Structure 1
Amino acid sequence: MSTSTRRRRYLRTAIGLAAVLVLSVVGAGAWFYHRLDSNITTFDAGGVATERPPAPVPASPGASVPVNVLLLGSDTRDDGNNALGGGDEGVGHSDTAIVLHVYADHKHAVGVSIPRDTLVTIPSCRLPSGTWTAPRNDQMFNSAFTVGEAPKGNPACTQNTVEKLTGLRIDHTVVVDFKGAAAMADAVGGVEACVPNDVNEYGIHLKKGLQKLSGQSAVDYLRARHGIGDNSDIGRMKRQQAFLSSMIKKVQSQGFSLPTLLPLADAATKSLTVDEGLGTAMKLVDFARSVQDIKLSDVTFVTAPWRFAGDRVRLVQPDADTLWKLLREDRTLDGQSTAGTGQVTTSPSATPGAGADTPLTPEQAAAPITVVNGVGTPGLAGSGSETLKGRGFRNITLGSNTPGHQVTRVAYDPALKAAADQVVALFPGAQAVQEPGTESITVTLGADYRPAGTRIDSVSSPSPRPGTATDATPGATSGATPNGGVPTGIAENTRNADTDPCANLTFG
């Protein structure tokens, strides 16, 4: 056999082996993704409210937009979770709720914890039977998850409640149960956490000090409430924030490679319930990679400004609404813009072409509009009226003042939708609400409205309502702006992700 013949045979053999290797890797990858897909449980999007906050639009063509992810921790004992959490099987509550706002630059993020005992309005939610409940006021936030008592809870109802509370459009919702938390901690080789003191309460046994937690001990750390600080949910949230910070640090140190992400995804997806937008392994991995450039030092955790109301919690105003407004406008906590951000300017169901540069039709220009001062600041309705006139609207009247509104609201009859979409575009962050039978488009200007030419930190805020927090109430100071313009109620409840894991872990 000639030398050239042997070379050709060796070449064919090498090419064949390489092809087999590539096909094996691709096949294994496809098999693994299929396995992950079969792990994932999604919840029915039919339970998501039809009237939702508007979605953000790019600041320029092709620019990125902010993303809001609702992270829920379910304390259900169903599906084997009682082995980790104790107690009887059944539907759990969402005792952990964090709204993760990823800024449009995808290099900064803020996670906002909502206390489980916060008294909120739970809007109309869908039951397993397909019927919808009536809205209920002054309900504990975590009870939204139990509406309908479905075995996997009601993530859509909690999402609806968060959107109602914050005015933020939630892009994705992820529910993690005890098994998921334990599996993810195991998958990264344990998470560094700090226990402020020995805990021996309600079957939870933890030793004081900085340590690596995984499996059962990680679940115990995340759910422990009694035996630390004042036994409140507020202190538990601080520890959850510190634990999540440590997990982010661990994943980042290992790199966002597939060998790191896939085992973590395999562990997590077995106990995750997600919205349909994250319903495949590829979508989950793609989202993880989209945030891989966020440094730990650029992640901040905030507990929504709060105060005790007996054995429940109420949010402190105006600071809580200031926080939601900053996130709706994709601004940092001190009111600054991040590069490449976009603002909410249209309703998600807006008429195509609605926007500040689109000429009004004669019918739209003649649409009846009533402008209401929903704050009490002198001249506010007049300023809103001038904004509308500058756009080309002609049929404008001023309504009676109705102070107490935090978010600007545009109500309209469906027949006036085309004109209403143009109105919404003039008031970034406004909530669009269909109200059949109304004779005019009603614009109620809230505390979030900023007249043309004013700065974000110069907008007048309404006076605190009777019964709201004072400086003497725990967790409740508001109004002042230390730390470069961050309102006190926000600054006091903020924790940077790169903070010492043993720092500021208890409340009381």
Structure 2
Amino acid sequence: MTQTPEAPAGRTRRGDRAARGDTGRRATRGRRRRRGRLRLGLAIALSFLVLTTAGAGWLYLRLSGNIDTFSSDGVARNRPDAEASKGENVLVIGTDARTGGNSDLGGGDKDDIGRSDTAFLLHIYADHEHAVGVSVPRDTLVTIPPCKLPDGSWSRTRTNAMFNSAYSTGETAEGNPACTQNTVEKLTGLRVDHTVVIDFKGFSQLTDVVGGVRVCLPQDVYQNDLNPNRATRGKVLFKKGEQTVSGQRALDYVRIRHGIGDGSDIGRIKRQQAFVSSLIRKIKDDGFTPTKLLPLADAATKSMTVDPGLGSADKLLKFAMTLKDVDLHNTKFVTIPWKYEGDRVAVVQPDADALWAALKDDRTLDGKDAGAKNGAKTTSSPPASPSAEEESEVSGAGISVAVYNGTTTKGLASTAAKALTGHDFTVTGTANAATQDHATTTVEYGPGRKADAEKVARLFPDATPRATGTAGVAVVLGEDYTGAAQTSPAPTSVPSGVADSARSADEDLCSNLSYG
């Protein structure tokens, strides 16, 4: 066998050098290819990042550009304590304003001042797992506090006024949400954290974007049920039973009042609550994904007018995302405790106050504590108002007090005088104050009368004792004094009649759709 002679030490054969040269060149080319692929991948990633960021910026500008806000100038000067409730309160107003093409979607004079067609206060509990919407009938008799007018002046307080007229207090074609917000805060004693207004046109567009909403009718509905001024019954608008509605048909559904039950606004509210429940269910079923939320956000921002606190895309979307964990069964709808008073609606007490107290304390309708959880908003407890037990122990024996009405509400001084005499205070007289624009109640006292003034103040929650140069003690009543006697224990639970009438968002579509 012939053997190939070995190369001398320190030298290599040409073939070996060539082989190693080819290997080196291949390695170099491989490194270059890998570097090229890396550069290409990096360039693609950077390009994607730039496009994504630009797209997000465009979307942000688009959504923010859609949002209309109302001025906070008309919001009341004297408001409930912002820190008194752990949860959040959002006032939702559906308006019948005829501006901006809305007159084409519903009857009425396009030059008429807008009113709130429907309204409910949504309380979102601090655990972000429970929510309650409280509807206020449009015919409810309420006190409408002062609201700023277009000329810069403030309107006078109106008593026994219809709730829906608060929206038109601002005397503008679009209406003034701040006036309704003031009224709701006066009615409930709760701070309204945000206010959202949606008109006919916006509502119609929203239902189109979600692909329609499932509803149910207890009976066939005809054209003259929607428009009682028609001379004939007209054709059938809705067949009895379940169906999907959107656009104009969705609007017609929530506006139908006559021809079902007793034809009252109370019955219509029940159907509106069923509709909102179904809409929430549809949105949750579709999922909180960008492909679903972004078209909804685009339509919503075009459709709504909001308070300045929700006046940007990030604020609005951030708020919307806080609702994603609220369970359907734990989303309840009720109507403010009410009774008929002639052809109007009166608020029933103490049931209504029990409801507001429960929401303020973040108690659910069945009495459970739904306060702060998992990092939800917590607040230090504000100074407590005098309890009924403390007030019942107040004795005014030997203390003389004068009472002055610093508001435009008639008879308020007499009511306060009765509360005082019921605790053995001697009322030396009642009269109107020098001006009737007092927002808060004060207890004025002269030298050496501070202790007496503090005792008087225990009968007037949130009243402020104030030293003056005059002799004696005097109560000057402000808008914060409701005239309610402060001698009964505060309700500890929501009355069963209110809790039992609540509708859950997961309830059967065809149940509880009318009244009478």
Question: Could you tell me the TM-score, scaled by structure 2's length?
Answer: 0.74
Within-5 A mapping of 1:333-412: 333-340=365-372, 345-346=381-382, 380-382=391-393, 399-401=420-422, 411-412=441-442
Give 1:305's aligned residue.
Answer: 337
Residue in 2 that maps onto 1:284:
316
Match of 2:93 in 1: 72
Structure 1 384/493 Cα, relative in aligned 2: closer, same or farther at 3 Å?
farther
Q: How does 1:185-196 map to 2 (within 5 A)?
A: 185-196=207-218
Structure 2 equivalent of residue 97 of structure 1: 119
* Alignment of structure 1 residues 53-452 onto 2, 5 Å: 53-56=80-83, 65-89=86-110, 90-200=112-222, 201=224, 202-203=226-227, 205-340=237-372, 345-346=381-382, 380-382=391-393, 399-401=420-422, 411-412=441-442, 430-431=461-462, 439=473
- Aligned counterparts of 2:323 and 2:497: Cα–Cα separation in 1: 28
Counterpart AA for 1:412: T
CA contact (8 A) 1:70 1:97 kept: yes
| Residue 336 of structure 1, CA deviation | 3.1
Shift in alpha-carbon separation, 1:321–1:435, aligned structure 2, 3 A = farther
- CA gap 1:384/1:154 in 2 versus in 1, 3 angstroms: farther
Cα gap change, 1:186/1:175 in structure 2, threshold over 3 Å: closer, same or farther? same
Q: Look up the match of 1:480.
A: none
Aligned residues of 1:335 and 1:456 also touching (Cα < 8 A) = no
Q: 1:187 to 1:36 in 2, by over 3 A?
A: same
Shift of 1:322: 1.0
Question: Residue type of the partner of 1:17?
Answer: I
Note the residue ranges of structure 2 that are not aligned, 5 or more in a row.
1-27, 228-235, 397-418, 425-438
Instruction: Output one character per residue of 1:365-424: Cα deviation in whole Å (capped at 9) or x when no partner.
Output: xxxxxx999x8x8x7431699xxxxxxxxxxxx943389xxxxx98326999xx99xx9x
Give the alignment's Cα RMSD to 1 decimal: 3.5
1:10 to 1, 13, 37: 37
> Against the structure 1 CA distance between its residues 456 and 123, is the aligned structure 2 distance closer, same or farther, given a 3 Å change threshold?
closer
> How much has 1:205 moved relative to structure 2?
2.3
Alpha carbons of 1:442 and 1:36: their partners in 2 closer, same or farther (altered >3 Å)? same
Shift of 1:489: 3.5
Of 42, 58, 62, which aligns to 1:31?
Answer: 58
Shift of the alpha carbon at 1:283?
0.8
Structure 2 residue corresponding to 1:496, chosen from 478, 481, 504: 504
Alignment CA distance shift 1:278-1:415 (3 Å) = farther
Greater mean deviation of Cα atoms: 224-233 or 293-302: 224-233
**Matched residue SS, 1:192:** strand
Q: Label 1:456 to 1:162 Cα distance change in 2 as closer, same or farther (>3 A).
A: closer
Task: Tell me by how many angstroms 1:148 deviates.
Answer: 2.7
Partner of 1:366: none
1:43 is matched with 70
Q: Is contact 2:84-2:360 (8 Å) kept?
A: no
SS at match of 2:208: helix
How far apart are the structure 2 equivalents of 1:157 and 1:173? 11
TM-score normalised over the length of structure 1: 0.75
- State the Cα distance separating 1:166 from its structure 2 match: 0.4
Structure 1 residues 82 and 399 mapped into 2: Cα distance closer, same or farther (>3 Å)?
Answer: closer
Aligned-partner Cα distance in 2 for 1:434–1:250: 53
Q: Distance in 2 between the 1:8 and 1:435 partners?
A: 80
| Helix, strand or coil at the partner of 2:421 | coil
In structure 1, distance between residues paired with 2:386 and 2:484: 9
**Conservation of the 8 A alpha-carbon contact between 1:222 and 1:240:** yes
Q: Is the 8 A contact 1:55 1:344 kept in 2?
A: no
Q: Which of structures 1 and 2 has the bigger CA Rg?
A: 2
Give me the whole-angstrom Cα distance separating, in 2, the residues matched to 1:93 and 1:489.
30
| Corresponding residue number in structure 1 for 2:514 | 506
CA distance in 1, matches of 2:301, 2:39: 42
Equivalent-residue separation in structure 2 for 1:249 and 1:313 (angstroms):
31
Cα distance change of structure 1 residues 84 and 410 upon mapping to structure 2, 3 Å threshold: closer
Query: SS where residue 143 of structure 2 aligns?
Result: strand
1-side partners of 2:444 and 2:420: how far apart?
21
Amino acid in structure 1 at the alignment position of 2:220? D
Question: What is aligned with 1:392?
Answer: none
The answer as to whether partners of 2:125 and 2:371 remain within 8 angstroms in 1 is no
Q: Secondary structure at the match of 1:105?
A: coil
Deviation at 1:134, TM superposition (A): 0.7
What do residues 285-340 of structure 1 show as CA deviations (whole Å, max 9, x unaligned)? 10011121111011110101111111110011111111111112221223332242
Share of identical aligned residues, percent? 49
Residue 393 of structure 1 corresponds to none
- Runs of 4 or more, structure 1, over 4 Å off, are 341-345, 413-416, 429-451
Does structure 2 retain, via aligned residues, the 8 Å contact 1:261–1:285?
no
Quick one: structure 1 residues 434 and 253, their matched pair in 2 at CA, closer, same or farther if it must change by over 3 Å?
farther
Q: How far apart, CA to CA, are the structure 2 residues paired with 1:216 and 1:70?
A: 24
Partner of 1:367: none
Q: Are 1:197 and 1:208, in contact at CA under 8 Å, matched by a contact in 2? A: yes
The aligned amino acid for 1:400 is T
